[in-house]
Amino acid sequence: MPEGPSVRKFHRLASAFVGQQVLKTGGSSKKLCPATLQSLWLQDAQVHGKKLFLRFDAVVGADADEEAGAPGSSQPPEPLQKRARREAAVDPAPEPSEQKTGDGSSRSSELLPRGPGGLVGDSPTAGAQRWLQVHFGLFGSVWVNEFSRAKNANKRGDWRDPVPRLVLHFGSGGFLAFYNCQMSWSPAPAIEPRCDILSEEFHRGQALEALGQPQPVCYTLLDQRYFSGLGNIIKNEALYRARIHPLSLGSLLSPSCLETLVDHVVEFSADWLRGKIQGQRQHTQVYQKEQCPAGHQVLREAFGPPGGLQRLTWWCPQCQPQLPPKELQQLPS
């Protein structure tokens, strides 16, 4: 599943179309019904952890025109212009399309909303705001102004291009194609930047308190309540860089060890995002490796809480030894 840096990249791609009207739709989704998005205006794009939120408005009447600008205009409302300028200040270069693997075969559990402020069946409610929540699958991706192509043949030997789940064509002539994702209409998202590892408002104190619990730190790192956007790659890489065994109990690690771990979570995530924006390939030190940078053999095993999801974990038993409690407390920062 794409982690925080990848979803931030998708957010940047979608943000380029904020303030534009959807002129044509397509895609393989059956439950979402892509046609319900036709003629709506993309008014906002937000990201939280591993989820992308897109706000669509049916621009009707003077109030809607005030918010979205005059019909036919591709300029976003003033608050969105400010957001776009902030994005451009980070990276003014043109955004390349995301190079991901193709669409999976699993069908999404997309649902249409019911009740006030959403959709009733397939019919839009005039003037209603609606938020499309996009949750990406294992190989989920967003492409801009081009479609994903088959990189190899399937089991039957056919070279079939992946079919996008949703395609949105905008007034500017560009389009977005969404692959291997689950989409559902939702209320306005409750964005909590304090737990988002890529947010400037990420709360280190809250993260450190969570890591200090008497459970393996590899479990806590994947808890989206405290480390939203953190996935298996970041977990493995941060633990290796901090020289901490995945099954070390957080309550037995020294405060300096936990500080170092959080530092590596934030630094690796930020470097990964920066590399994606610049079109660079990701380089890992232990994830899916046979040897660590020091030349030691890397071990792999599935770890997870009892009754919970078991995630493959890569670690170096020499660089990340499983130490007794007394030695854990004395680990250098």
Q: In the annotation, is 110 catalytic?
A: no
Beta carbons within 10 angstroms of residue 206's beta carbon: 14
Task: Assess contact for 45 and 134: CB atoms under 8 A.
Answer: no
Distance CA 302, CA 329 (A): 26
Q: Edge-to-edge strands of the sheet including 41-48?
A: 22-26, 166-170, 175-186, 129-144, 51-57, 41-48
Burial bucket for residue 236 (CB in 10 Å: 0-12, 13-18, 19+) = buried
50 belongs to the catalytic site:
yes
Q: Is 55 a catalytic site residue? A: no
Residue 122 and residue 133 in contact, taking contact as beta carbons nearer than 8 Å: no
**Residue 2 annotated to the active site:** yes
Catalytic residue among 8, 12, 50, 165: 50
Long-range contacts of 116-123 (CB under 8 A, 24+ apart): 117/187, 118/185, 119/36, 119/185, 122/33, 122/35, 122/36, 123/36
For residues 319 and 285, give the distance between their C-alpha atoms in angstroms, rounded to a whole number: 12
Largest Cα span, the chain:
69
Cα(106)–Cα(269) distance, rounded to whole angstroms? 28
Q: 2, 76, 124, 162: which is the annotated catalytic residue? A: 2
Active-site annotation holder among 8, 9, 241, 311: 311
For the annotated catalytic residues, the residue numbers are 2-3, 50, 311
